[in-house]
Structure 1
Amino acid sequence: MVSRRPREYASPKFFSVQTLVHYGLHFLFPAVLALIFFPAVWQTAYLIMLATMIMDLDHLLAKPIFDPLRCSIGYHPLHSFYAIPVYTLLLLLPVTQIAAVGLLFHLFTDMVDCLWNFSHCRACYLNSRIYALRSWVKRLLARERGK
């Protein structure tokens, strides 16, 4: 009989597929987005989207600064559930649209990394702010149904 226990998850290797996908999405895919959404100024759009990587400076506020198993979404201030609606609103202003696309795609990329970790590490999921938010919403909806 096969054991159904979750696998223990080793820390990601520097040159793992997950790492290559993560940094490929961060540094290469914004060029594709720039070509699709801003073809007339794609080079400038690409550089602006790369500049949105500065949002990762909020990792300096965490201890430890880098934890390969920690989900950034909801953990760091510029990756918070409060920041996401602000970045979404920036899409409405033509002058900030490129930066907004870069910021939101950055968060999408980090979410892909979180989901990749969660698929191998249940404790990573249970300790994430995503799980805490999910649990809060679930309790809120259950309370609403009970009224």
Structure 2
Amino acid sequence: MPELELRAVVHLLLHATVPLAVARLFWPARWKRAALWMLAGWAIDIDHLLADPVYAPGRCSIGFHPLHTWPAILAYGALAIPQRTRWFGTGLLIHIALDAIDCLMM
């Protein structure tokens, strides 16, 4: 498997496993529900459909896609504060952090 493909596979696996691990660690009694809300953070990738091409392996999503910009990231941080939206906001921040790490690895 070429390096770029391996990086993409690892990136996608981390998007699934990190929210699960965070849910198990911080909310062990309700980890399944917390994990589902955090995995819902993947929904922000819908903004990739606005790009041409939709998928570009060497493109950094941070700052490029509308839901991956600093104003959006600040909103995700705000969502992580109230208890009612904490899991979703945390999932969004995890998603952004993983995307930022991927950008650094490019």
Question: Share of identical aligned residues, percent?
Answer: 43
- C-alpha separation in 2, matches of 1:40 and 1:114: 34
Higher helix share: 2
Aligned positions of 1:40-51 closer than 5 A: 40-51=29-40
Q: CA deviation at 1:11?
A: 8.0
Encode CA deviations 1:49-108: one digit per residue, 9 max, x unaligned. Answer: 111111100000011111011100011111111101111111221100000110000001
Does 1:24 pair with 2:13?
A: yes
Equivalent position of 1:114 in the other structure? 103
User: AA paired with 1:58?
Assistant: D
* Larger gyration radius, structure 1 or structure 2: 1
Structure 1's unaligned 5+ residue stretches are: 1-9, 118-147
What residue in structure 2 maps to residue 12 of structure 1?
4
Q: Distance in 1 between matches of 2:90 and 2:10?
A: 19
Does the CA contact (< 8 Å) of 1:49 and 1:103 recur in 2? yes
Aligned CA RMSD, in angstroms, stands at 1.5
User: Larger relative CO (CA 8 A, sep 6+): 1 or 2?
Assistant: 2
Q: How many residue pairs were aligned?
A: 105
Cα deviation, residue 25, structure 1: 1.2
Q: TM-score, normalised to structure 2's length?
A: 0.92
Letter in 1 for 2:37: I
Unaligned runs of 5+ in 2: none
